[in-house]
């Protein structure tokens, strides 16, 4: 039990940490031991549900539409027409196929349960705690994603896997789009980017089924999207709570609301979206353990991701021990081992001690003399990552892929 660190436990309460540290069950075993869908829909934003298992539900509106657009050879023209559709209040361009136009007009509507006051509180929280959110939802979640077999393989064998830097930038567009106060209202861009991402997901489902490298169920099911949602939402809130970040009740509720809206706009059914943090933690403890594990594709993608982070930290250098140590700290030993992240015997314990002290200093809980020098290296590293990702998020465009990974 000595190996079972708090960081290992963070990802999903106790479940995944226990599996990883004690070797009690593999993800496949965890899945086989789960009989159906046990999370109660009464804990969702809808308050009730159909009882469907999200592992076998996809997007029954977007998927046939994208298949039809591919069959009609219209994807390049759709990409051209939608390229400059950027703002939530911007009319759709003329010339779009009528079935696509009808879908987008419906998909761009915010859900009826949206509370503007909560969204405003969520936007303020993004501003106040932006660095922590970037660390957890971009760097940490990126590391978790490569330890999710279906997600790692769908990224690797889709078009984006051939250029991971561009793929990461496109993935993080929403991280940029949801930050402003008007993210989901007129003048903002979050609605547009979410709808475009939903179209991309439907395209990837369609395309990967024809890839010789893909086998098994159709990718990006409702459960797959929930898994990704939890690596952003639940993982980030648990991380900030563990670090003793100051979070008011209004900020906590507002942050959850912004993430609930994002999930809905990406096509996750309301019956699967948690209504509270407690219901989110409970659902996370079901879906994460049975969907995580090692793959060769994930190891390769993670190495590329860490090289990118090291390059941003120290341009021209491939020396990445600090990136390795911080990545291991963020995800815990089990996930780091799945991802092939080398252990750094000297830096691992230093980072584990330094980062919480830096957070406590930033939160006004301790004085400057108690912050070690390594913490300031981490602080500078995070600032560079934050600037890069948010800048790329402002510059990059989401487009529908026209094929799978070349070769």
CA dist list (Å): 236 to 117, 141, 230, 242, 277? 22, 8, 8, 10, 11
For every residue of 171-234, DSSP letters joined together read HTHHHHHTSSTTTTSTT--HHHHHHHHHHHHHHHHHHHTT-TT--SSPSS-HHHHHHHHHHHHH
Residue 205: inside a domain = yes
Domain count, the chain: 1
Residue 37 has a pLDDT of 94
Q: How far is 313 from 125, CA to CA, in rounded Å?
A: 26
Q: How far is 325 from 139, CA to CA, in rounded Å?
A: 13
Buried b (16+ CB within 10 A) or exposed e, 10-46: bbbbebbbbbbbeeebebeebeeeeeebebebebbbb
What is the value of pTM for the model shown?
0.90
Residue 138 has a pLDDT of 87
Please, what is the angle between helix 164-171 and helix 373-395, to 10°? 80
pLDDT tens across the length of the chain (407 residues): 333 344 454 444 444 543 333 233 344 444 443 458 999 999 999 999 999 999 999 999 999 999 999 999 999 999 999 999 999 999 999 999 999 999 999 999 999 999 999 999 999 999 899 889 989 998 999 999 999 999 999 999 998 888 887 788 787 788 788 888 899 999 999 999 999 999 999 999 999 999 999 998 999 999 999 999 999 999 999 999 999 999 999 999 999 999 999 999 999 999 999 999 999 999 999 999 999 999 999 999 999 999 888 888 776 555 689 999 999 999 999 999 999 999 999 999 999 999 999 999 999 988 888 888 888 888 888 888 877 766 665 667 899 999 999 87
| 378 in Cβ contact with 327 (< 8 Å) | no
Residue 35: inside a domain = no
Residue 37: inside a domain = no
Residue 34: inside a domain = no
Q: How far is 112 from 121, CA to CA, in rounded Å?
A: 18
Residue 34 has a pLDDT of 46
Q: How far is 79 from 81, CA to CA, in rounded Å?
A: 6
Coil vs helix vs strand at 404: strand
Residue 281: inside a domain = yes
Q: How far is 155 from 162, CA to CA, in rounded Å?
A: 9
Residue 18 has a pLDDT of 33
Residue 144: inside a domain = yes
Residue 309 CB burial class (10 angstroms; 0-12, 13-18, ≥19): buried
Residue 17 has a pLDDT of 44
Residue 28: inside a domain = no
Residue 89: inside a domain = yes
Residue 352's domain comprises 1-23+52-407
């Amino acid at each position: 039990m000595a190996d079972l660190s708090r960081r290992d436990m963070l990802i999903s309460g106790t479940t995944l940490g226990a599996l990883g540290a004690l070797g009690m069950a593999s993800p496949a075993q965890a899945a086989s031991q789960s009989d159906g869908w046990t999370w109660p829909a009464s804990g969702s934003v809808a308050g009730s549900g159909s009882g469907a298992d999200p592992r076998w539900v996809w997007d029954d509106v977007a998927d046939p539409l994208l298949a039809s657009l591919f069959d009609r050879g219209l994807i390049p023209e759709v990409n051209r027409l939608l390229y400059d559709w950027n703002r939530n209040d911007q009319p759709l361009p003329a010339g779009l196929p009528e079935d696509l136009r009808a879908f987008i007009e419906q998909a761009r509507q915010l859900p009826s349960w949206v509370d503007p006051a909560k969204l405003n509180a969520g936007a303020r929280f993004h501003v106040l705690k932006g660095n922590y959110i970037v660390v957890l939802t971009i760097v940490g979640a990126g590391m978790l994603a490569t330890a999710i077999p279906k997600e790692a393989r769908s990224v690797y064998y889709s078009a984006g896997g051939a250029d991971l830097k561009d793929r990461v930038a496109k993935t993080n567009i929403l991280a940029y789009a949801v930050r402003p106060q008007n993210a989901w209202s007129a003048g903002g861009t979050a609605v547009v980017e979410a709808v475009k991402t939903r179209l991309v997901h439907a395209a990837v489902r369609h395309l990967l089924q024809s890839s010789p490298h893909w086998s098994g169920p159709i990718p990006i099911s409702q459960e797959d999207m929930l898994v990704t949602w939890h690596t952003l939402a639940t993982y980030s809130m648990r991380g900030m709570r563990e670090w003793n970040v100051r979070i008011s009740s209004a900020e906590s509720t507002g942050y959850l609301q912004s993430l609930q809206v994002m999930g809905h706009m990406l096509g996750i059914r309301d019956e699967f979206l948690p209504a509270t943090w407690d219901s989110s933690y409970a659902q996370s403890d079901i879906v994460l353990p049975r969907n995580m594990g090692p793959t060769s594709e994930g190891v390769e993608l993670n190495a590329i991701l860490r090289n990118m982070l090291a390059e941003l930290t120290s341009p021209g250098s491939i020396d990445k021990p600090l990136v390795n140590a911080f990545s291991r700290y963020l995800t815990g030993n089990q996930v780091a081992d799945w991802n092939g992240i080398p252990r750094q015997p000297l830096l691992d314990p230093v980072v584990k001690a330094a980062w919480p002290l830096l957070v406590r200093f930033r939160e006004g809980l301790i004085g400057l003399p108690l912050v070690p020098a390594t913490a300031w290296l981490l602080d500078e590293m995070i600032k560079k990552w934050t600037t890069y990702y948010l800048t790329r998020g402002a510059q990059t465009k989401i487009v529908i892929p026209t094929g799978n990974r070349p070769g």
